[in-house]
Each structure stands twice: as structure tokens, then as C-alpha cells.
Chain A
Amino acid sequence: MKMTSVATTGIIAALAFLMMQLPSRAGSQSAPPLAATTIPTAQLMQPEELKLLLNGAAANRPLILQVGSRIMYDQSHIPGSEFAGPGSRDEGLSLLRGRVKTLTRGGFIVLYCGCCPWNRCPNVGGAYRTFHDMGFTNVKVLYIADNFGTDWANKGYPVAH
């Protein structure tokens, strides 16, 4: 059996094929998702910081919006957060705009996803840009380094189902 060569050849073929395919992946997107790395560092919030806010006075709590997939939200999400539509898709961003269009532009809002490692997340970049373009001035994005499980739920931070 040529196991090693199967693996090596397969990986090279897979990577080459993926590089050809990724720009148009998922089909339903009109443009490649905006990377999370486009979000200014000053607008990021660490999980610990949000956890402290959740434990604090209700008046200081932000509106928390999950901008990832519905299935991931339904499995487990931050208590009090709302599903607002995936930021990588036009229909998700439309849902998001509809949810917040009547809100005061200075309102405290935290976005999060956690589907993927930060630099791979297809959702938060577009969602943040949407808020920015709508004139919101107090929007933070939860910095989830790896995924919602590792960086939130598995730390014992509160979740709802």
C-alpha cells in the first residue's frame, strides 16, 4: 500500500483544486466575504470583557447580535443575543439592516460569530462594515480566536440553547 503517496498526492490535489474553487464558493454570495482582519483593532472586544458586561448591570449590557449561521446559533449562543443573519451573504446583511435600522446610531452593539478561526471568519467583516456604513458609532466585534466552543462555551462562559 502506498499510503504516504496517497496522502501527499491527495493533499496537493485538494489544495490546488481548492485554490481554483474558493473565490466562487457557495454560489449565493455576490462578492467574496470581507475578512475579519479588516475590522479596526480598537473595535474588537475580548470574550472576558463581554462576560463581565453580562454579569454587570443590565443597563450597561450591549445589544448582542450573532451574525453567523442559524444552526450554530440554535445549538448554543450567548444569552440574550439575537440571531441577525450571516454577514457573508447578502440576505444575511439585509436581515441585519432590517433589525437595526430604527436603532439609535450611538447604541452599544456587540457582534459575534465564532464559526471559524478569526482570520477565516466570513461573517463579521461584512457585518461590521454594514454597521459602519449605516452610521453606527459604538459597535464592537467579539474577538473569537478559534471558535465559539473553544473561546466561549468551553471556558464556562454563559450560553443559552
Chain B
Amino acid sequence: MLLSAAIGANGQTGGTQSLLNHTAPEFVRRDLAGRSMSLARLKGKIVLLNFWATWCAPCQIEMPMFACWQRHYGPQGLAVVGISMDDDVAPVRTVMRKLRIDYPVAMGDAALGRRYGDVLALPSTLLIDRNGIVRAEFEGEADLSKIEAALKNLLAGR
């Protein structure tokens, strides 16, 4: 399902904010292998940015597929990046090992979630074009074939 956007109406700011057609907020992190990674460095690539957590069952259905796509579409310019919204790194390493996730994954935090419009549902996946613009957002148990179709369009320059 596509991410919806809404503004809270009770004085305090509410709802998630859509980033569709906006520049994806830059971030610099170290992935779990200790490598520095940043969105800026991925400019020119199509980025699949996936927020997930070890306690999120649907996340773990998607992730092996994302790893498969990284292998298959990587030569065409795909870069899959995972952001774990877990509180601790230990279970993240365990799940990555079990699911054989070999694309870069970094730990997220509330500040990063807020920069991305509040990531209040997992999984949340953004497709970012070669210029760093968010072109698609998917939230919850998304249809993988729809994500792949949007991805293929972006890789083809459509």
C-alpha cells in the first residue's frame, strides 16, 4: 500500500509525512560491517531504502527478495540499503545472518525516522531515483510485484 500523508489536527504534529517527489533526506551512517555509507554517495543509482526491524515479520519476508534484486538489478544501477529500527544491534546481526542479507544495513534511530516523515509502520520502503528524488513509497505488507514493477520503471528511466 502506498504511504499516506496526513497532518495532525490536535495542536501537536501528527501523522506520517509523505516524501513523494521530494529529495530524500541525506544521512551518513556506518553499516553493520563498519563501512561508511551515505545517500549522497549513491547518487546516480536507483536506491531501494528499506526500514525494517527484527520483530517485524513482513519485513523478513521482503528482505531475501531485496537481496535477490540487488544481485539481479545491481548491474543496472540498483543499490539496496536497509535501515534497522531495532533498539539493539545483536538481533539485527542474527537475522541478517539467518536471512543471508548481503546488502548494506545500518542502525536507524528516532531522529532519522523523523527526517523521513516519521517511520511509524514497518516495513517502509522508498524508491529513490538517480537524482535523489523519492519516486515511490510503500508501507506495511506491500505487494512485492508492485515494488519490483516500480523499480524496473525507474531502472529503465521511466
Contact = CB atoms under 8 A, between A and B. Distances in A.
Interface of A: 3, 6-7, 10-11, 13-15, 17-18, 21-22, 24-28, 33, 69-72, 74-76, 79, 86, 88, 114-117, 120, 122-123, 146-150, 153-161
Contacts, number: 162
For the complex of A and B, 9 pairs with smallest distance between CB atoms: A149-B120, A74-B110, A156-B9, A147-B121, A14-B64, A27-B94, A154-B15, A10-B68, A154-B6
Given A154-B4, A158-B8, A116 B118 contact: no
Interface stretch (B19-27, B29-37, B49-57): B49-57
B95 interface: yes
Nearest to A120: B57
Contacts of A18: 60-61, 64, 99
Contacts of B9: 156
Nearest to B88: A28
B109 to A, nearest CB: 6
Nearest to B72: A6
A46 B1 CA distance: 23
A149 B60 contact: no
A120 B53 CA distance: 13
Among B12, B58, B63, residue most surrounded by chain A Cβ atoms (within 10 Å): B12
Contact of A26 (B10, B55, B69): B55
A122 B59 CA distance: 13
A27 B68 CA distance: 24
Contacts of A116: 55-58, 122
B157 interface: no
Given A75-B114, A154-B16, A17 B120 contact: no
Nearest to B57: A120
B64 A86 contact: no
B90 A28 contact: yes
B94 to A, nearest CB: 4
Given A72-B120, A115-B122, A159 B58 contact: no
A27 B12 contact: no
B60 A157 contact: no
Contacts of A70: 87
Given A18-B64, A147-B120, A155 B54 contact: no
Contact of A156 (B6, B88, B148): B6
A32 B98 CA distance: 17
20 contacts: A14-B63, A14-B65, A15-B61, A17-B99, A18-B99, A22-B57, A25-B54, A25-B95, A26-B55, A26-B91, A26-B95, A69-B53, A69-B55, A75-B119, A76-B120, A120-B58, A156-B6, A157-B10, A158-B11, A159-B14
